Amino acid sequence: MQYVTILGSTGTIGQQTLDVIAQHPERYGVFALAAHSRVDLMLQQCAQYRPRFAVMQDAEAARQLKQCLAAEQLPVEVLSGVDGLSEVAAHEDVSIVMAAVVGAAGLLPALAAARAGKKILLANKETLVMAGQLFMDAVTQGQATLLPIDSEHNAIFQAMPRQSYQALADVGVNQIILTASGGPFRGYTQTQLQEVTPALALKHPNWVMGAKITIDSSTLMNKGLEVIEARWLFDARPDQIEVVVHPQSVIHSMVSYVDGSILAQLGNPDMRTPIAYGLGYPDRIASGVKPLSLIDVAKLEFEAPDTQRFPCLRLAYEALAAAGTAPAILNAANEVAVAAFLQEKIHYLDIPCLIERTLQSLPVETVSSIEQLLAVDQQARQFVEHALAAQAVSPLRKVASV
On the question of pLDDT at 158 being above 70, the answer is yes
Positive or negative, the CA dihedral 158, 214, 180, 23 is positive
On the question of pLDDT at 396 being above 80, the answer is no
Chain centroid to CA 35: how far?
16
- How many CB atoms are closer than 10 A to CB 195? 11
- Structural contact between residues 255 and 249, judged by C-beta atoms closer than 8 angstroms: no
Per-residue pLDDT tens digits for 381-392: 999 999 998 864
- How far is Cα 65 from Cα 59, in angstroms, rounded to an integer? 10
Q: Can you give the pLDDT at residue 319?
A: 97
Region 159-183: mean pLDDT is: 93
The model's confidence at residue 180, banded by pLDDT at 50, 70 and 90, is: very high
Per-residue pLDDT tens digits for 349-358: 999 999 999 9
- How many CB atoms are closer than 10 A to CB 347? 19
- Which DSSP letter does residue 175 get? E
Q: Can you give the pLDDT at residue 391?
A: 67
User: What residues pair up with 98 in beta bridges, in sequence order?
Assistant: 6, 121
Q: Can you give the pLDDT at residue 171?
A: 96
On the question of pLDDT at 402 being above 90, the answer is no
Report the mean per-residue pLDDT for the chain: 92
Cβ-count burial 286-296 (b if 16+ within 10 Å, e if not): ebebeeeeeee
Strands 241-245 and 262-266: unpaired
Per-residue pLDDT tens digits for 161-172: 988 898 999 999
Q: Can you give the pLDDT at residue 125?
A: 84
Per-residue pLDDT tens digits for 301-313: 999 999 999 999 9
Q: Can you give the pLDDT at residue 23?
A: 97
Per-residue pLDDT tens digits for 272-285: 999 999 999 999 99
Q: Can you give the pLDDT at residue 204?
A: 63
Region 75-79: mean pLDDT is: 96
Region 365-394: mean pLDDT is: 88
User: Could you tell me which of 33, 233, 208, 217 has the C-alpha nearest to residue 127?
Assistant: 233
DSSP string, 227-266: HHHHHHHTT--GGGEEEEE-TT--EEEEEEETTS-EEEEE
Q: Can you give the pLDDT at residue 401?
A: 37
The model's confidence at residue 205, banded by pLDDT at 50, 70 and 90, is: low
- How far is Cα 6 from Cα 28, in angstroms, rounded to an integer? 12
Residue-level length of the chain: 402
Q: Can you give the pLDDT at residue 131?
A: 92
Per-residue pLDDT tens digits for 18-51: 999 999 999 999 999 999 999 999 999 999 999 9
The model's confidence at residue 183, banded by pLDDT at 50, 70 and 90, is: confident
- How far is Cα 356 from Cα 333, in angstroms, rounded to an integer? 9
The model's confidence at residue 126, banded by pLDDT at 50, 70 and 90, is: confident
Q: Can you give the pLDDT at residue 73?
A: 93
User: Could you tell me which of 156, 205, 213 has the C-alpha nearest to residue 182?
Assistant: 205
Q: pTM here? A: 0.89
Amino acid at 119: K
| Stretch (H or E) spanning 78 | strand 77-80
- How far is Cα 384 from Cα 17, in angstroms, rounded to an integer? 34
User: Could you tell me which of 35, 30, 46 has the C-alpha nearest to residue 13?
Assistant: 35
Q: Can you give the pLDDT at residue 393?
A: 45
Region 375-400: mean pLDDT is: 76
User: What residues pair up with 245 in beta bridges, in sequence order?
Assistant: 180, 303
On the question of pLDDT at 400 being above 50, the answer is no
Q: Can you give the pLDDT at residue 164?
A: 87
